[in-house]
Amino acid sequence: MKAASRLPGTPQPMHMWKGSGGVRLAGDTWGSPAGAPVVLLHGGGQTRHAWGGTGERLGQAGYFAIAYDARGHGDSDWSAEGDYSLDALAADLRCVLVENGIVENGIRNPRPPALVGASLGGATSLVAIGEQRVDASALILVDIVPYTEPSGVERIRTFMAQNPDGFASLDEVAEAIGRYRPSQSRTRNLQGLAKNVRLSGDGRYRWHWDPQFLSGQTDPRGRHARLGACARNLTPPTLLVRGGSSDVVSEAGVQEFLELCPHAEYVNVAQAGHMVAGDRNDVFGEAALEFLTRHLCAT
């Protein structure tokens, strides 16, 4: 099942991979497949394009970087059943690893991938590793911990649920993003917004994600307990990166995570909000590459 039409000029995915239950996942790669694999998982409402700069940097450093649109996002299929659970997302991740030859017929790869997950992508990574669905050589969590601030989470959901009838122009799209991120200067490149929306048959621009993505029942306590148990089970080298002005991850949430996962390293990125890689891509890229270089040989 697919969303409305892509806008002209939107970057075509380099690959289409088979996800869980037949959902097709759109992905890009950088670097040689012979390099150590690093999988980049974006947050809810984002796309693989959020990792473009990071993927290029990792590829140039000798890694094999993989980024894909989560189901219901970007150029990937929407779930016919509306299944956007962490279980489904973790199953998709394993499928991507199989499609790229990183996991073969259940055989453990001597070079398991490093996972870099932002927000929802980080929660997916926590479940995949903590529940032993995927082997990983390292983990970078970007502004995600088991306990997230309800007000910050609600602000994201409110943003994603706005304008269900769409927008009349890309200017209106830019205004909506500007209201959500008031500290960031409004983009002047409206064409750059094309990858965030789709053009419907009625001529209205609508967000690229499946509206059903927001309709699932949430259980904050159950999610907290599950992700906390996964954090306790982490054994790979782990780095937590928090946006200094994030309203989703607080210092209290960070401290709880560090108690659950004592071997984890922690970096606080000043002048960055929840979308750390987008707000301070340079600082994030340096921190991520330095961590991976210490724990994972690129070739």
Q: Is 8 part of a structural domain of the chain?
A: no
Mean pLDDT of all residues belonging to the chain = 90
The pLDDT of residue 108: 60
Regarding whether 55 and 27 lie in a shared domain, the answer is: yes
Contact 265, 279 (CB under 8 A): no
pLDDT band at 1 (very low <50, low <70, confident <90, very high): very low
Write out pLDDT tens, residues 38-87: 999 999 999 999 998 999 999 999 999 999 999 999 999 999 999 999 99
106's CB contacts (< 8 A; 6+ apart) are none
Regarding whether 263 and 191 lie in a shared domain, the answer is: no
Write out pLDDT tens, residues 194-241: 888 999 989 999 999 999 998 866 788 999 999 999 999 999 999 999
Percent above pLDDT 90 for the chain: 72
Backbone torsions φ then ψ of 39, nearest 5 degrees? -105, 130
Regarding whether 256 and 185 lie in a shared domain, the answer is: no
The residue out of 179, 195, 212 marking a domain boundary is 212
Put simply, whether the predicted model's pTM sits higher than 0.85 gets the answer yes
Regarding whether 37 and 102 lie in a shared domain, the answer is: yes
Regarding whether 169 and 55 lie in a shared domain, the answer is: no
- 48 or 191: whose pLDDT is higher? 48
Distance from the Cα of residue 272 to its chain's centroid: 16
Write out pLDDT tens, residues 242-277: 998 899 999 999 999 999 999 999 999 887 888 787
Q: Coil, helix or strand for 9?
A: coil
The residue out of 172, 188, 212 marking a domain boundary is 212
Write out pLDDT tens, residues 33-50: 999 999 999 999 999 999
pLDDT band at 297 (very low <50, low <70, confident <90, very high): confident
Measured CA to CA, the distance from residue 169 to residue 171 in angstroms comes to: 5
Q: Coil, helix or strand for 60?
A: helix
Regarding whether 86 and 224 lie in a shared domain, the answer is: yes
184's CB contacts (< 8 A; 6+ apart) are 178, 279
The pLDDT of residue 188: 60
Regarding whether 113 and 229 lie in a shared domain, the answer is: yes
* Count of domains observed in the chain: 2
Q: Largest Cα–Cα distance of the chain, in whole Å?
A: 53
Quote the Cα angle for 245-226-157, to 5°: 45
Regarding whether 46 and 28 lie in a shared domain, the answer is: yes
Regarding whether 98 and 231 lie in a shared domain, the answer is: yes
